[in-house]
Amino acid sequence: MKVLVTGGAGYIGSTTASALEDAGHTPIILDSLIRGRREYAVRYPFYEGDIADRELLGRIFREHPDIGATLHFAALIVVPESVAHPYLYYHENVVKSLELFRALDELGCERIIFSSSASIYGSNTGSDFKVSEDTPHAPDSPYARTKHMIEMALEDMSRALHFRSIALRYFNPIGADPAMRTGPYDEAPTHVLDILADVASGRIPIFRITGVDWPTRDGSGIRDYLHVWDLARAHVLAVERFDAAFDAFGGDFIPINLGSGRGVTVRELVAAFETVWGKPIAKEEAPPRDGDVAGAYASADRAAKLLGWKTELPLTQTIADALRWVHEVRPRMLGY
Ligand code: UFG
């Protein structure tokens, strides 16, 4: 199937494009390259531009009338930036997604799969930190609120217009494509595993365990980490099983958690990292970052039932893939 991939030059969108290709589908990339990488986009038919550009969307569907589904990844995703620049985030994420959805409806696209985020649950996780799709939303940053608002709009538009939609709520995707085609590319990484890899290579002097007094089993933050390749595979299944999922679930809109169903604390992640790396890394305890939360992990039953998906790659492989990427491929790509 031909699949329109907005944000297909970004970290998750590009990895998903590879997974689509491996499964015999054809990704068509739409990306503004404001944050994405040109070398990720040009592997496929590529349109450089904005998701709210109706004329461009019209051209894409004229040139590829057989597009069967749209995967909508394109978004700004940095929480502190969203706190400092809320208008930018509401405009780029919410307003432009509404324009995209309206245009997709007019162009006859019947299947939309939206990249949502577990951050919409906020701190609303109860004492066991497990959240299901029915856990009430409590988004606590402008970024998370944009995901929450887009989901609400998408649900309402799915009911009223001609398309149906699935919102995939990601927990913490980490690692890189096991075939090393794509991976994270921030020069100054903010995610925990990329920071650990930079500490191992000496680019960052010490790892700070940010938050040691959370009500978790060892006081450090808990998250549901999943290999980005497992996440990419979930999108392929969402495309392939889209209609069957609605046959089973009903309605016009389905939210689905994508996580491993297992919580891992920062201290546990560091221990696993040191095992894979083969030696201890420099580390110290530190206060939580601004806006940090204790964390959450997924009830992933719905993904298993509707998509036949569960995570397959163990944390050790995820760490090994991240290390290869950060130490061997990323320096060549970024030229340092
Ligand atoms: N952590 C450290 N040291 C660091 C960096 C992180 O101990 O140097 C800890 C954090 O305190 C947290 C855990 O590692 O407990 C994970 O942190 P990440 O930043 O990797 O992930 P978060 O879940 O905190 O946040 C991520 C993205 C956000 C996004 C959120 C939900 O950074 O942009 O997931 O989708 F909003």
- Could you tell me the distance, in angstroms and rounded to a whole number, from the CA of residue 34 to the centre of ligand 1? 23
- Could you tell me the distance, in angstroms and rounded to a whole number, from the CA of residue 323 to the centre of ligand 1? 18
* φ, ψ of residue 169 in degrees (nearest 5): -95, 105
What are the tens digits of pLDDT across the range 317-328? 999 999 999 989
Q: Are 130 and 297 in contact (CB under 8 A)?
A: yes
* CA 211 to ligand 1: nearest atom: 11
Question: With bands split at pLDDT 50, 70 and 90, how would you rate the model's confidence at 291?
Answer: confident
Whether 114 has a pLDDT exceeding 80, the answer reads: yes
pTM for this structure?
Answer: 0.96
143 noted as active-site residue: yes
| DSSP letter for each residue of 265-325 | EHHHHHHHHHHHHSS---EEEEPPPTT---B-EE--HHHHHHH-----S-HHHHHHHHHHI
Whether 239 has a pLDDT exceeding 80, the answer reads: yes
- Could you tell me the distance, in angstroms and rounded to a whole number, from the CA of residue 191 to the centre of ligand 1? 5
What are the tens digits of pLDDT across the range 128-169? 899 999 999 999 899 999 999 999 999 999 999 999 999 999
Residue 300 is assigned to a structural domain of this protein: no
- Tell me which H or E stretch contains 207: strand 207-210
CATH number of the domain to which 233 belongs:
3.40.50.720
Question: With bands split at pLDDT 50, 70 and 90, how would you rate the model's confidence at 268?
Answer: very high
* CA 143 to ligand 1: nearest atom: 36
Q: Are 44 and 28 in contact (CB under 8 A)?
A: yes
pLDDT at 323 (0 to 100): 95
Torsion of CA 52, 11, 198, 180, to 10 degrees: -150
Residue 211 is assigned to a structural domain of this protein: no
- Could you tell me the distance, in angstroms and rounded to a whole number, from the CA of residue 193 to the centre of ligand 1? 9
Whether 124 has a pLDDT exceeding 80, the answer reads: no
Compute the average pLDDT of residues 292-302. Answer: 93
Residue 303 is assigned to a structural domain of this protein: no
pLDDT at 292 (0 to 100): 85
Question: How many of the other CB atoms lie within 10 Å of CB of 23?
Answer: 15
> How many domains would you assign to the chain?
1
Question: With bands split at pLDDT 50, 70 and 90, how would you rate the model's confidence at 33?
Answer: very high
Q: Is 77 in the pocket of ligand 1 (CB under 6 A)?
A: yes
Residue 327 is assigned to a structural domain of this protein: no
| DSSP letter for each residue of 241-268 | THHHHHHHH-SSEEEEEES-S--EEHHH
Q: Is 199 in the pocket of ligand 1 (CB under 6 A)?
A: no
- CA atoms of 116 and 77, how far apart (whole Å): 11
Residue with the smallest CA separation from ligand 1 atom 14 is 192
Q: Is 209 in the pocket of ligand 1 (CB under 6 A)?
A: yes
Residue 202 is assigned to a structural domain of this protein: no
Which one of 11, 89, 143, 225 is the catalytic residue?
143
Torsion of CA 140, 142, 144, 147, to 10 degrees: 140
* CA 209 to ligand 1: nearest atom: 7
Residue with the smallest CA separation from ligand 1 atom 7 is 209
Q: Is 16 in the pocket of ligand 1 (CB under 6 A)?
A: no
* CA 191 to ligand 1: nearest atom: 20
- Could you tell me the distance, in angstroms and rounded to a whole number, from the CA of residue 223 to the centre of ligand 1? 8
Pocket test for ligand 1, best of 78, 129, 206, 223 (most atoms within 8 A of CB): 223
Compute the average pLDDT of residues 281-291. Answer: 93
Whether 201 has a pLDDT exceeding 80, the answer reads: yes
Residue 56 is assigned to a structural domain of this protein: yes
Whole-number Cα distances in Å, 34 to 5, 7, 14, 69:
16, 10, 15, 24
Range of the domain at 92: 2-174+226-258
Residue 198 is assigned to a structural domain of this protein: no
* CA 265 to ligand 1: nearest atom: 15
Whether 334 has a pLDDT exceeding 90, the answer reads: no
Residue 126 is assigned to a structural domain of this protein: yes
